Amino acid sequence: MKYHDSETAREVANRVQAFMDDVVLPREREALATGEQITDDEISELWEMAKERNLFAPQMPEEYGGQGLAFRDMLPSFEQVGRSLIGAISIRANAPDEGNMHTLELVGSEEQKKEWLRPLVQGEFSSGFSMTEPMQGGGSDPKMLGTTAKKDGDEWVINGHKWWTTGGKESDFLLVMARTDLDAHPYAGTSIILVPTDTDGVNIVRNISHLGGHDITEREFGHAEIKYENVRVPVENTVGEEGQGFQIAQMRLGGGRLTHCMRYSGMAERSLDIAKAYLSEREGFGEPLANKQALRHRIADAETKLHMARTGVRHAARELDQSEARIEVAMAKVFTANVTNEIIDLAVQCCGANGIGKDLPLAQFYENVRAFRIVDGADEVHRRSIARDAFEDIREEEINHVLRFDPDRRAESSTDE
Amino acid sequence: MKYHDSETAREVANRVQAFMDDVVLPREREALATGEQITDDEISELWEMAKERNLFAPQMPEEYGGQGLAFRDMLPSFEQVGRSLIGAISIRANAPDEGNMHTLELVGSEEQKKEWLRPLVQGEFSSGFSMTEPMQGGGSDPKMLGTTAKKDGDEWVINGHKWWTTGGKESDFLLVMARTDLDAHPYAGTSIILVPTDTDGVNIVRNISHLGGHDITEREFGHAEIKYENVRVPVENTVGEEGQGFQIAQMRLGGGRLTHCMRYSGMAERSLDIAKAYLSEREGFGEPLANKQALRHRIADAETKLHMARTGVRHAARELDQSEARIEVAMAKVFTANVTNEIIDLAVQCCGANGIGKDLPLAQFYENVRAFRIVDGADEVHRRSIARDAFEDIREEEINHVLRFDPDRRAESSTDE
Amino acid sequence: MKYHDSETAREVANRVQAFMDDVVLPREREALATGEQITDDEISELWEMAKERNLFAPQMPEEYGGQGLAFRDMLPSFEQVGRSLIGAISIRANAPDEGNMHTLELVGSEEQKKEWLRPLVQGEFSSGFSMTEPMQGGGSDPKMLGTTAKKDGDEWVINGHKWWTTGGKESDFLLVMARTDLDAHPYAGTSIILVPTDTDGVNIVRNISHLGGHDITEREFGHAEIKYENVRVPVENTVGEEGQGFQIAQMRLGGGRLTHCMRYSGMAERSLDIAKAYLSEREGFGEPLANKQALRHRIADAETKLHMARTGVRHAARELDQSEARIEVAMAKVFTANVTNEIIDLAVQCCGANGIGKDLPLAQFYENVRAFRIVDGADEVHRRSIARDAFEDIREEEINHVLRFDPDRRAESSTDE
Amino acid sequence: MKYHDSETAREVANRVQAFMDDVVLPREREALATGEQITDDEISELWEMAKERNLFAPQMPEEYGGQGLAFRDMLPSFEQVGRSLIGAISIRANAPDEGNMHTLELVGSEEQKKEWLRPLVQGEFSSGFSMTEPMQGGGSDPKMLGTTAKKDGDEWVINGHKWWTTGGKESDFLLVMARTDLDAHPYAGTSIILVPTDTDGVNIVRNISHLGGHDITEREFGHAEIKYENVRVPVENTVGEEGQGFQIAQMRLGGGRLTHCMRYSGMAERSLDIAKAYLSEREGFGEPLANKQALRHRIADAETKLHMARTGVRHAARELDQSEARIEVAMAKVFTANVTNEIIDLAVQCCGANGIGKDLPLAQFYENVRAFRIVDGADEVHRRSIARDAFEDIREEEINHVLRFDPDRRAESSTDE
């Protein structure tokens, strides 16, 4: 399928695809085949190769060591990195660092950029984003945010309990969402504060054991449970404007949802590639499995839905250039999340026991993609927004028709005609 | 939802929408409420109004009385006409006449245009397209076409048995697909021949009773079973080049599939409008049904999928400008057909008994939309094409990985690395 | 599939099956092929044949001309009658007469049985059940019942507006649900009153045009909209105890839901029989369609789900012998309604244009089965009951575990262990 | 839901349920909350408690230390053990040991029973079942079995390559499927041979990394890849009759499929219990999540389908008493596998991040249940059998009707009528 991306976007995506095909996917397949994890040093080697190809940290300004690509020009490349378990990290576009870079670059102070952003881009630092809380039910209801930061002189004193802070255990610093004005609505009284991980009172309880979890990289990208107990950092560590935490997080999320959609679309595409290769190669009852129509037709439906998801994500991205595009993004996200789950499930089924085993990347894709219907707004949260929007737009004429057709009221209104 | 249609396309669609909202939908609702069918005279009145608004026969050249709009500029308007049971006919864009006009305009001789196309555009004539045959299984396998036309002097002698010839019984002329060279492959030996319906030997057996069938227009748009028994017409009645029947039919179908997608999308949109109006107005257990989340969320999913269908159809239309876009069109068609079936089914469910009754247009939409998964290529035919295309594109590296991971062969190939 | 029905049940079902195969189905197929409707006289002939085979009015006591079969022994036979469009009527087990017979037999007075039940069983009378009202949203919320009957001397004076009164237009008498005590809760203040259709003030507005509607019988089984305007009948026409209308209707519905499930299961079975015959007989691309796996596997899933539905209905019937079995019946109903809709849709798809045309019974099955997800309690109403029951049964231990796992509360409760 | 199980079955299931509720589930929850794995010693303690309650090794004869329960009387108890991650092992009914006990008890020699079965029952030994091979595509096509055993004097010499041998790495002995007569059809030339794991030439390559994989027990129940290289065992190690390997495996599988269905049904039930507890306890937007209809209705559907699965499994078990019940078992298996996957997926979604995390058992259930659509016959294999059976049973009358309705042939056959 061809898409109507900008010329720059296509050119970059082609180069990212080549990097994946030539370098990253062979490395991933080798790791899967041998069962040996990819070391930090090997990741650094991939970064060097990405730099040579002008693909390293693609969305960061060149002054920090990135490629200075605009969101719209980078978007299709996320499909390409999504094809590999180590695609995003190989070009330093991996969560949560990529989002944190984006946030610091957008609203960070010069000081913060110098001290934290530059080494973060370079991969000298890693980072976490500490937002979700145990009692919050996925973070969808902002009123339930319980972590607070109180000013004490020129310091914030932070107390709270977070979890699912991705990369928190391995991080050098954390961006922490905290209520900074309890009298205000959370949308006006919440701030993001940068906390070096080695600050006193940052108590990393554990990495939460979760679905899946054998990474093929040595470095674990766990999700930390963290207690903040009287953690003190300078007031200057506020990231962006005080009280604007939710707005900054939304900004971060808006485009982020679409890049995630692209990454998972790439993952689904790769899964179909593997399934098709497997079905073509394997035989059963005297002919290649690929000849059998039942799975062929399900693959046709998978290709169709994946195509629709890609088209929908691009539509939302185009709208996002001009507006908040809240509903377009919600639709793209909930559709893509469900479609990619379904497709990866199908690919596992096509490969039978080989779909369950980890000599192929499918089982890990299957573990990873499940979270996508929950994070970045659970399906139910997006459906809620979409429905609210849809029900705002009820046509008066149809209401009249529904009423008019009610025999009693019809009698009354019939004089009008 | 906004779409990235051309300025002309949006301008025309806005005018079509206004015509529907101001004139056509009120007329339709009245017919439903009273149960009285819309007469031919009333259709003619609608045509006059469409002419005043420069919307009559929109894709026909102005010299024949149309508006001279390009396919791409007209496409989004089909969503608007699809919203009403009488939308397409109200602007003289109804099947099969619209497709027959298109065919005659494209490949008809000057004589044919003068004699048949002009009055067809004006609505003085109506027409049928006689392609499907009883033994053919939906027309998907061209080798099974059994109708023949043999030259006898300067006449064709046509023999065959057709059915599902839409509008055949009421038509003034028929375009008939017939094998004209039995030695050639059907793709090279089939022609389209124009047959005046009152020619000797045209035996209209019946209109086939089918799903649904109470039209709100007096004029019945039935599907005729027709026997052609030694029907003689001049050789000049060949439409387009002799032997090119399938190519011409394909040309007709290509864009036609997309306009159908648009029409059914409009039907689905209208169905959701009605369902939302109904749920907002009706109460159950002490609150409006619209407050209840189960149907709200299903409507959110319906809106999402409908949006994806619309986006996918527009993508295919854009590709069609540049290539055959066979797979893009197949994907758009099979996806839209299933999504619109699902949505209209949901709307029926939302309205309960009122969804089943014909005081609202939903029941008729439900009857109509079912055929869309069968005509213009059944789902299975499109899935077959999509799968064939998908399996052409198997990545060598994944095959190697699948093989390599096979322990025995892995041992052998491991020396390569 | 074999089921563990009682010996009597199996014996009766075998005889009903033979009657269908030998007499009823050939008659139905002939009517479909010729397009000629079956006359009332022909129905009477079928009744004579059913009497000869001791199958006429199977659940009515022998003294009224029936066979005296118990519900449980008759249940599996409803699968057999469901296989034909004229199956139920051919043995005088058709709605709504069958349910009305059941009601009169159960709670009617001796006078009512003599005057109304006997001729109803014999087919001399036909009847309607007048319950649903336009503003009621399917009748699920009893508080919205608006029809009233007030005592004036020894007469009821009935006023109200009903619709979807099946068979109302052709009926000799109607059973009407009316509020008879406005001060009581509707469950205690509603009665069923027998109203001869020719009583003054019974105003049959129309038969409601609805989904489908070309019957293959001459006699139309329409759904009437009826206004009751100061209709006077003797107080003796109360059917069962005054104020017990809802209880009687429930009793009628309980088993009725299961017999409907059986009938629609039979309809689904027949649909699969036709689809399989069609696929086996028709060819496409050089081999029988039946060889193609995609539809084969979907048929396998259809057979599986139909089997589960049948098993679930029988489970509910067995429970119903001992208790109200509200949830079991709700589950059987909602599952069967959805499964049979899905299967008949699949059968239509398998047969392509022949699935849409009415030379086969599929299109009419498709029209009929849609209502099944709405009547006898819409899907949403049953899901509501099932969910309420499910959420009553939450395990304390799991609640504790969910809470305990909340880190803050876990700390507190850890002292207990 | 109540089921119509035998009195013994219900009595045993009640006691198993009590053991789970009182002992096993609290132990499991503790392990999840602390993250500490359950040791072998703790498993032995559970066994002692199971013995005290007369629940240990329930299907083994008392002389070997079991409870001597018949399959039908034990079946419903598998639902109860399925509710816990350690349910099956806690009563020594865990795969693959339970199946191996069953096989040895059924066809093993007295010597084998004494030497291998007794300690296996007691838990002194553990075992593996070595059937699947890398090139075999899930084992569905018997002709692709490559492992051979050749007689050399009074010894078998075994060569072959197996994988997915559950428990193989930790086992004391293996039951190995091997071709023993290459000239015969595999159904007549395959035998099961008992191989002590410490025999020379048994090369356990690895445990295959696979979906999920963090067990809550110290003992890993991995799936081993094993090479058999000139492995010599006495001919007396043949289990059952020589050449009857497939028949014995089928016997083992027949009932095994149903017990698996029951275990996964229990897992699904527990998942719903947790989801309901979570939704009732957690709040969002000002009310318990349980009040929101969208998830409530999906839970209603889940309860409904789970009920149908349970009913279908019991139907198959009842048939299995009297016949091979191949289709009934296939239907029960494919339906239950899909339904339990769907339900556990829903439960994960209900719990959001807590569904992904492993403080609750849901994520592990999610990992485990995926394999169920692949092992014991993949969905596609069962659909294939069901379809073959369904297409054997095409009604002649429907074929005639399909043909008759074909206009040409109808003409010919119309003389018959």
Q: What is the CATH number of the domain that holds B306?
A: 1.20.140.10
Taking residues B190-194, report their average pLDDT.
97
* CA distance linking residue A370 with residue A381, whole number of Å: 16
Taking residues A22-43, report their average pLDDT.
94
At B278, list the tokens: 């109904």
* pLDDT of res. D322: 85
pLDDT at A416 over 70: no
CB contacts under 8 A, B 361-380 vs A, are 380
Grade residue D414 by pLDDT with cuts at 50, 70 and 90: very low
Tens digits of residue pLDDT in C237-258? 999 999 999 999 988 877 889 9
pLDDT at D394 over 70: yes
* pLDDT of res. D139: 47
Contact D134 B408 (CB under 8 A): yes
Contact D135 B225 (CB under 8 A): no
Kindly report the three-state secondary structure assignment for every residue of B10-32: HHHHHHHHHHHHHHHHHHHHHHH
Instruction: Please tell me whether residues D236 and D270 are part of one structural domain.
Output: no
Contact C407 A205 (CB under 8 A): yes
* pLDDT of res. C178: 96
Which residue in the block uniquely carries the two structure tokens 């990394």? Answer: D209
Taking residues B392-409, report their average pLDDT.
73
* Stretch among A10-14, A153-157, B255-259, C344-348 having the lowest mean pLDDT: B255-259
* pLDDT of res. C149: 97
Query: Which helix (H) or strand (E) segment is D186 a member of?
Result: helix D186-189
Grade residue B417 by pLDDT with cuts at 50, 70 and 90: very low
* pLDDT of res. B411: 38
Instruction: Please tell me whether residues A210 and A255 are part of one structural domain.
Output: no
Instruction: Please tell me whether residues B336 and B309 are part of one structural domain.
Output: yes
The chains found to touch C (3+ Cβ pairs under 8 angstroms) are A, B, D
CB contacts under 8 A, B 299-358 vs A, are 299-301, 303-305, 307-309, 311-312, 315, 318-319, 327-328, 331, 334-335, 354
Compare A35 and C128 and report the one with higher pLDDT. Answer: C128
Instruction: Please tell me whether residues A346 and A358 are part of one structural domain.
Output: yes
* CA distance linking residue A263 with residue C408, whole number of Å: 36
Taking residues A134-156, report their average pLDDT.
82
Instruction: Please tell me whether residues B256 and B358 are part of one structural domain.
Output: yes
* pLDDT of res. B333: 97
Q: Is residue B16 part of a domain?
A: yes
Instruction: Please tell me whether residues C320 and C337 are part of one structural domain.
Output: yes
Taking residues C1-23, report their average pLDDT.
95
Tens digits of residue pLDDT in C171-193? 999 999 999 999 998 889 999 99
* CA distance linking residue C370 with residue B226, whole number of Å: 32
Contact A406 C293 (CB under 8 A): no
Q: Is residue C166 part of a domain?
A: yes
* pLDDT of res. D404: 63
pLDDT at D411 over 80: no
- At residue D37, what is the residue type? Q
pLDDT at A134 over 80: yes
Count of CA atoms in the C-beta half-sphere (13 A) of C185: 5
Last residue of a domain, one of A94, A118, A138: A94
* Secondary-structure percent of chain A, ordered helix, strand, coil, rounded to 5: 55, 15, 25
pLDDT at B213 over 90: no
CB A145 within 8 A of CB A136: yes
Grade residue C404 by pLDDT with cuts at 50, 70 and 90: low
For residue A296, the chain C residues in CB contact (below 8 A) are 294
* CA distance linking residue C206 with residue A407, whole number of Å: 12
pLDDT at A138 over 90: no
pLDDT at A288 over 70: yes
Instruction: Please tell me whether residues A78 and A50 are part of one structural domain.
Output: yes
Is C210 in the B-facing interface, judged by CB distances under 8 Å?
yes
Last residue of a domain, one of A243, A267, A297: A243
At B263, list the tokens: 């029409």
Instruction: Please tell me whether residues D233 and D279 are part of one structural domain.
Output: no
> Which candidate in C346, C398, C399, C412 is best for mutational testing of the D interface (most D CBs within 10 A)?
C398
Compare D144 and A196 and report the one with higher pLDDT. Answer: A196
Is B287 in the D-facing interface, judged by CB distances under 8 Å?
no
The residue in chain C having the minimum alpha-carbon distance to the alpha carbon of residue A136 is: C406
Last residue of a domain, one of D70, D94, D118: D94
Taking residues A177-183, report their average pLDDT.
95
Instruction: Please tell me whether residues D370 and D251 are part of one structural domain.
Output: yes
Hey, how many other C-beta atoms are within 10 angstroms of the C-beta on D40?
11
Tens digits of residue pLDDT in D11-21? 999 999 999 99
Helix axes C293-320, D379-391, angle to 10 degrees: 80
The phi, psi pair for A179, rounded to 5°, reads -70, 125
CATH number of the domain that residue B87 is part of: 1.10.540.10
Instruction: Please tell me whether residues A251 and A368 are part of one structural domain.
Output: yes
CB D270 within 8 A of CB D263: no
Burial label for C287, CB within 10 Å (0-12, 13-18, 19+), is exposed
Helix axes C379-391, D245-281, angle to 10 degrees: 80
Grade residue B148 by pLDDT with cuts at 50, 70 and 90: very high
* pLDDT of res. D361: 96
Q: Is residue D103 part of a domain?
A: no
Grade residue A136 by pLDDT with cuts at 50, 70 and 90: low
Grade residue B137 by pLDDT with cuts at 50, 70 and 90: low
Print the domain residue range for D67.
Answer: 7-94
* pLDDT of res. B39: 95
Q: Is residue D253 part of a domain?
A: yes
DSSP codes of every residue in D329-349: HHHHHHHHHHHHHHHHHHHHH
Instruction: Please tell me whether residues C60 and C48 are part of one structural domain.
Output: yes
Compare C140 and A75 and report the one with higher pLDDT. Answer: A75
The chains found to touch D (3+ Cβ pairs under 8 angstroms) are A, B, C
The residue in chain B having the minimum alpha-carbon distance to the alpha carbon of residue A274 is: B398
Contact D319 C2 (CB under 8 A): yes
For residue A138, the chain D residues in CB contact (below 8 A) are 352-353
Q: In terms of Cα–Cα distance, which of B146, B168, B160 is closest to B100?
A: B168
* pLDDT of res. A189: 94
Taking residues A326-351, report their average pLDDT.
97
pLDDT at B415 over 70: no
Largest CA distance in chain D: 83
Q: Distance (Å) from the C-alpha of residue B20 to the closest C-alpha of chain A?
A: 12
Tens digits of residue pLDDT in D121-139? 999 999 999 999 987 654 4
> Which candidate in A136, A165, A225, A293 is best for mutational testing of the C interface (most C CBs within 10 A)?
A293
* pLDDT of res. A11: 97
Tens digits of residue pLDDT in A260-271? 999 999 999 999
Compare A11 and D141 and report the one with higher pLDDT. Answer: A11
Tens digits of residue pLDDT in D323-356? 889 999 999 999 999 999 999 999 999 999 999 9
Query: Which letter does DSSP use for residue B195 in this model?
Result: E
Is B21 in the A-facing interface, judged by CB distances under 8 Å?
yes
pLDDT at D92 over 60: yes
* pLDDT of res. D415: 34
The residue in chain C having the minimum alpha-carbon distance to the alpha carbon of residue D322 is: C2
Domain count, chain C: 3
* CA distance linking residue D125 with residue D122, whole number of Å: 7
Is B135 in the D-facing interface, judged by CB distances under 8 Å?
yes
Q: Is residue B74 part of a domain?
A: yes
Q: Is residue B382 part of a domain?
A: no
Instruction: Please tell me whether residues D263 and D351 are part of one structural domain.
Output: yes
pLDDT at B345 over 70: yes
The chains found to touch B (3+ Cβ pairs under 8 angstroms) are A, C, D
Which residue in the block uniquely carries the two structure tokens 């051309």? Answer: B6
Mean pLDDT across chain D, nearest whole number?
91
Grade residue C136 by pLDDT with cuts at 50, 70 and 90: low
* CA distance linking residue C358 with residue B212, whole number of Å: 10
Contact D408 B292 (CB under 8 A): no
Q: Is residue A410 part of a domain?
A: no
Grade residue B416 by pLDDT with cuts at 50, 70 and 90: very low
Contact A370 D348 (CB under 8 A): yes
The residue in chain B having the minimum alpha-carbon distance to the alpha carbon of residue D225 is: B407
CATH number of the domain that residue B190 is part of: 2.40.110.10
For residue C293, the chain A residues in CB contact (below 8 A) are 292-294
* CA distance linking residue A284 with residue D334, whole number of Å: 20
The residue in chain B having the minimum alpha-carbon distance to the alpha carbon of residue D290 is: B293
Q: Distance (Å) from the C-alpha of residue A407 to the closest C-alpha of chain D?
A: 31
Contact C367 B212 (CB under 8 A): yes
For residue C289, the chain B residues in CB contact (below 8 A) are 137
Tens digits of residue pLDDT in D249-272? 988 877 889 999 999 999 999 999
3-state secondary structure of C406: coil
Parallel, antiparallel, or unpaired: how do β-strands C127-130 and C173-179 relate? parallel
CB contacts under 8 A, C 225-244 vs B, are none
For residue C363, the chain B residues in CB contact (below 8 A) are 210-211
Chains B, D: CB contacts under 8 A, how many? 30
CB C332 within 8 A of CB B184: no
Q: Distance (Å) from the C-alpha of residue A111 to the closest C-alpha of chain B?
A: 42
Q: Is residue D102 part of a domain?
A: no
Count of CA atoms in the C-beta half-sphere (13 A) of A45: 8
